[in-house]
Amino acid sequence: MKIRKIKFSDLRTCSKFFKLAYSNPPYNEKWQGDNAYKYLVSKYKYCSKNSYVLIDKNKIIGFILVNLGYWTNGPQAIIEEIVIDPKNHHQGLGSILMKNTLLKLNKLKVKSILLWTLKDSLASKFHKKHGFSVADDLVIMNRN
């Protein structure tokens, strides 16, 4: 198992299992054409410096995209995506990737880390296990 910084050339591979992961419950997203790849390309522009891929047997099996910025108290990270290829779920690989990333963010003296997930999902339980909690004072709003 190896973790390294993400490269632009990794995005095509990542987009394939990203689509698979988000097509399953609870998300049930239907990605059209090349939209998953385009989504990752757009995130990569802001996240490449602090994002990583998880590699097993020379094959990418997971990735994390982290956007680093600043807020009033110093560096702030936003975990945009953490995805493990669904074929490799429930093996502790997401935890390996998350712990590695949290250590790196700690070395950068990041003061706060934000992320979005669905309530009561497996992802929510995963993030709580890694020390995240629900921010009662924030709300996500959208308009379709």
Q: Pull the structure tokens for residue 76.
A: 């702030």
What integer pLDDT is reported at residue 131 of this predicted model?
Answer: 85
Contact 69, 78 (CB under 8 A): yes
Phi, psi (5° rounding) for residue 57?
A: 55, 45
What's the number of domains the chain is made of? 1
Distance CA 105, CA 97 (A): 12
pTM over 0.85: yes
142, part of any domain: no
Helices 35-47, 11-23: axis angle to 10 degrees equals: 120
14, part of any domain: yes
104, part of any domain: yes
Full residue range of the structural domain in which residue 71 is found: 2-129
pLDDT, one tens digit per residue, over 36-48 is 999 999 999 999 9
